[in-house]
Structure 1
Amino acid sequence: MIQKLITLDKFINKEALSGILLFIATVAAVIVANSSLGQAYYDLWHTPLGIKLGEYEISMTLTYWIDDALMALFFLMVGLEIKREMLIGELSSISKASFPIVAAIGGMVVPALIYVAFNSENPYGFGIPMATDIAFALGILMLMGTRVNPALKLFLVALAVVDDLGAVIVVATVYTNEIHTQYFLHAAIIYAIIWVLNFKGVTKITPYLILGVALWIYIHAIGIHATIAGVLLAFAIPIGSKIEEKKFLDESRKDLDDFENHIDNTLILNHHQIDSLENIAYNYDKVQNPLVRLEHNLHGLSAFFIMPLFAFSNAGVLIDFSSVNEHFMIVLGVVLGLVIGKPIGILGLTYLADKLKLIKKPEDISWAEILAVGFIAGIGFTMSIFITHLAFADENIIAAVKLGVFAASFIAATIGVILLLNVKKLINN
């Protein structure tokens, strides 16, 4: 239990710092895009890059390599988080999972309905206001320090995991290109081999990652968004370690004793000590949980490289509100979906389900705090921008929606922070 809390605390701290980096990257992108370097900025991200493997060739712009390839690693991490939470975390039992699941469903369905209500003739962007940017959201809670109920952080993490699962389903089922069914068999065979490795107890990560690259290639060839390959791979990564903890302790103690018994007066380690250290390192790799180990390794890469790079390459938009006026209903649907739909969906559905005794509100969280978190969850940002690029091809619409996402995220964050700072007054009244 203590180890679990330490791991979660590290996760939250990394997400908080990642949120700060995302903000810096976004501001930098907007400044550069609106400066004399603006044209060079756009030309850079539209540079074509290709890879050819035999007769098969993948050619995309630099932006699409970031959005389709690097973001596949991000979605791999998301998939690992979802699997971990469902097996041993906040979603591992009905009693734990029911409340954040209902909250997340409300926080996805209501924003989507609001968007569709304003864009019934072109509802394709309904997924944009459904998303929550967990890095920004947790970053705000962390910056508020002890003024925020610690239980809210756990609730937001669980909610965001379910929200991510919803985003994965929407991307996989809605935002796809033309389907090329001839590649389904190739992808299915590769994925079956990955699961065979799991069933055979293979815990080394390398074979999974190599096959994961092949899976990504064929998922991309099918026409389904290639980031889904990351999620599929995550679900197949084994969670069990190769050796038991007690065996690891016994063998490590034996190696440490051997290391101590061969201490001498030389300046370097002797071969007995080197062998002892190598044995400990070998057993360390075997006792580690493959899923958690891969998630840990990917989290830093995702938080401090992939997501800031994604933000810098995608957030650059000309501050020109003529595009907003031209596509006002789309932007309005996104803004109201995030600012109004998120808190109404999260608070409204959980409150209704609680009153109907379908779920039970955690005793250490108040309804006022849930409302505040509902607004914080309205920070769509990077995930909303990601889905925007999938939903629309028109650059003017994309630019307008980005401005809407920026505005909505700022408004939602501001309201959420104000509510959290005054939550005790709201409870007492």
Structure 2
Amino acid sequence: MKDSKNPIRFIHSLQAVAEPFLAFLRWEASSGVILLGCAILALIVANSPLAGTYEHILHLPIAIGAGEYTVTMGLLHWINDGLMAVFFFVIGLEIKREFLYGELRTASAMLLPVGAALGGMIVPALLYAAINVGLPTFGGWGIPMATDIAFALGIMTIAARQAPLGLVVFLTALAIVDDLGAIVVIALFYNSDLVFSALLVGLLAIAAAFLFGRLRVRFVPLYIVLGLMAWYAFLQAGIHPTIAGVLLGLSIPAAAKPEASLLHKLEHALEPWSAYGIMPIFALANAGVAISFATFDASSPIFLGILAGLCLGKPLGIFGATFLLCRAFKLPLPGSATKSQLAATGMLGGIGFTMSIFIASLAFTESAQLDLAKISILCASVLSGILGTAFFKLQSLGKTEAAPAKN
């Protein structure tokens, strides 16, 4: 209340809260263009005379550590298990920031994005499961649950400039909840046999990080050491080690003033590295699939399940859940958007590139199935992006044509 009596101080407070979101939006939207370029480059290389060299580099063994604590993995695994742990750490920071300062800080604000995210995860998973029920490919049901926030926001900011800011905020919050849901799915359903002694060590390291976070300890090297311990322990335990990154991100201390917190400092420092470094490297390493039309089967349950999940399940789940919640609680659509704009946003939610490919690499161990899943994700994501863009463009054209009639 004191700030509201001092307009200048109140404006500065609003700017402090909004700045992390605006910076996040800039980074994610622009990184989507780089991510697309890297995915295309990987596809070109994988289908060129350089394909053999590309595969050789990805499987080069790299050893890191000392003595009995040495970890040896191929470059691709270091990217997916190691580098992506930093990406997931940033996601953990983003989730905590959104719950403390952003769109998810109150129960009423959480209602629509959380409901839309749940609808956008459950419906695609059910569609994939229905198509693959009783088949060895059933385990890929988690693939179409994820939304790639960088691609989705990138397309929205470029192709839908007239979209209400509230709708952009809604998509951002939805995608963050979506990431959280995907993390839970990975932790619960995509892990190998557990080694409980190693799991206990990892959980103790994370518990210590939460304790220090509760005590407002700002010594970053301490969190790095605990994070490395948890990462190594989870790897040995059979839990995907990237989960350690998320949990560590959630442990970082916040503050009453967002800009003064270690949470803000680390997110601000790491988000550009994640958006412009880690995600493009992930795309270069994982999007390179040799496309053979002789072996590609468009009737495959993997292809049909992913296509139906992302292109149909995502918009149905997001639009349906949001519309029903707005009706039930007598709320306006996010950003006072039209139904067409909300439907287009749901279509952009079908762009599942990064997290979908990540889950596919956990769901399928056979290279043929994994390659088909990657091709399916790329096809479905491109189609979702085209449909979402087309709907937004049609919406803006409709407004342009209707404007003279009002004069």
TM normalised by structure 2 equals 0.90
Is 1:336 equivalent to 2:303 in the alignment? no
Q: How far apart in 2 are the matches of 1:85 and 1:363? A: 18
Q: Give the one of 393, 401, 419 matched to 2:373.
A: 401
Q: Give the one of 214, 231, 234 matched to 2:246.
A: 231
Residue 363 of structure 1 and its aligned partner are, at CA, apart by: 5.5
- The 3-state SS of whatever aligns with 1:50 is strand
CA RMSD of aligned residues (A): 1.9
Is 1:195 equivalent to 2:195 in the alignment? no
List structure 1 segments (4+ residues) > 4 angstroms apart after TM superposition: 424-428
Is 1:129 equivalent to 2:144 in the alignment? yes
- The residue identity in structure 1 corresponding to 2:244 is A
- The 3-state SS of whatever aligns with 2:343 is helix
Task: Indicate if the aligned counterparts of 1:29 and 1:312 stay in contact, CA closer than 8 A.
Answer: yes
Moved more, 144-153 or 127-136: 144-153
- The residue identity in structure 1 corresponding to 2:61 is P
Closer/same/farther in 2, CA of residues 362 and 135 from structure 1, 3 Å limit: closer
Task: Indicate if the aligned counterparts of 1:99 and 1:359 stay in contact, CA closer than 8 A.
Answer: no
Could you tell me which residue of structure 2 aligns to residue 20 of structure 1?
33
- The residue identity in structure 2 corresponding to 1:421 is K
Task: Indicate if the aligned counterparts of 2:59 and 2:75 stay in contact, CA closer than 8 A.
Answer: yes
How many pairs were matched up? 385
Q: How far apart in 2 are the matches of 1:223 and 1:117? A: 29
Q: How far apart in 2 are the matches of 1:322 and 1:400? A: 13
Q: Which runs of 5+ in 2 are unaligned?
A: 1-13, 403-407
Is 1:207 equivalent to 2:232 in the alignment? no
Q: Give the one of 173, 185, 190 matched to 1:158.
A: 173
- The 3-state SS of whatever aligns with 1:325 is coil
Moved more, 67-76 or 119-128: 119-128
Task: Indicate if the aligned counterparts of 1:68 and 1:225 stay in contact, CA closer than 8 A.
Answer: yes
Moved more, 354-363 or 209-218: 354-363
Could you tell me which residue of structure 2 aligns to residue 50 of structure 1?
63
Could you tell me which residue of structure 2 aligns to residue 381 of structure 1?
353
Task: Indicate if the aligned counterparts of 1:79 and 1:234 stay in contact, CA closer than 8 A.
Answer: yes
- The residue identity in structure 2 corresponding to 1:329 is P
Could you tell me which residue of structure 1 aligns to residue 42 of structure 2?
29
Residue 48 of structure 1 and its aligned partner are, at CA, apart by: 1.2
- The 3-state SS of whatever aligns with 2:334 is coil
Residue 203 of structure 1 and its aligned partner are, at CA, apart by: 1.4
Q: How far apart in 2 are the matches of 1:92 and 1:56? A: 41
Closer/same/farther in 2, CA of residues 423 and 326 from structure 1, 3 Å limit: closer
Closer/same/farther in 2, CA of residues 88 and 182 from structure 1, 3 Å limit: same
Q: How far apart in 2 are the matches of 1:102 and 1:205? A: 35
Task: Indicate if the aligned counterparts of 2:351 and 2:380 stay in contact, CA closer than 8 A.
Answer: yes
- The residue identity in structure 1 corresponding to 2:129 is V
Could you tell me which residue of structure 1 aligns to residue 5 of structure 2?
none
- The residue identity in structure 2 corresponding to 1:420 is F
Is 1:9 equivalent to 2:22 in the alignment? yes
Could you tell me which residue of structure 2 aligns to residue 180 of structure 1?
195
Could you tell me which residue of structure 2 aligns to residue 118 of structure 1?
131
Q: How far apart in 1 are the matches of 2:50 and 2:296? A: 23
Residue 179 of structure 1 and its aligned partner are, at CA, apart by: 0.9
Q: Which runs of 5+ in 1 are unaligned?
A: 246-286
Moved more, 32-41 or 356-365: 356-365
Task: Indicate if the aligned counterparts of 2:160 and 2:392 stay in contact, CA closer than 8 A.
Answer: no
Identity among equivalent pairs (%): 40
Residue 149 of structure 1 and its aligned partner are, at CA, apart by: 2.2
Residue 360 of structure 1 and its aligned partner are, at CA, apart by: 5.5
Residue 177 of structure 1 and its aligned partner are, at CA, apart by: 1.4
- The residue identity in structure 1 corresponding to 2:152 is A
- The 3-state SS of whatever aligns with 2:241 is coil
TM normalised by structure 1 equals 0.86
Could you tell me which residue of structure 2 aligns to residue 295 of structure 1?
267
- The residue identity in structure 1 corresponding to 2:56 is D
Task: Indicate if the aligned counterparts of 1:99 and 1:350 stay in contact, CA closer than 8 A.
Answer: yes
Matches for 1:278-357 after TM superposition, within 5 Å: 288-325=260-297, 328-357=300-329
Q: How far apart in 1 are the matches of 2:362 and 2:396? A: 41
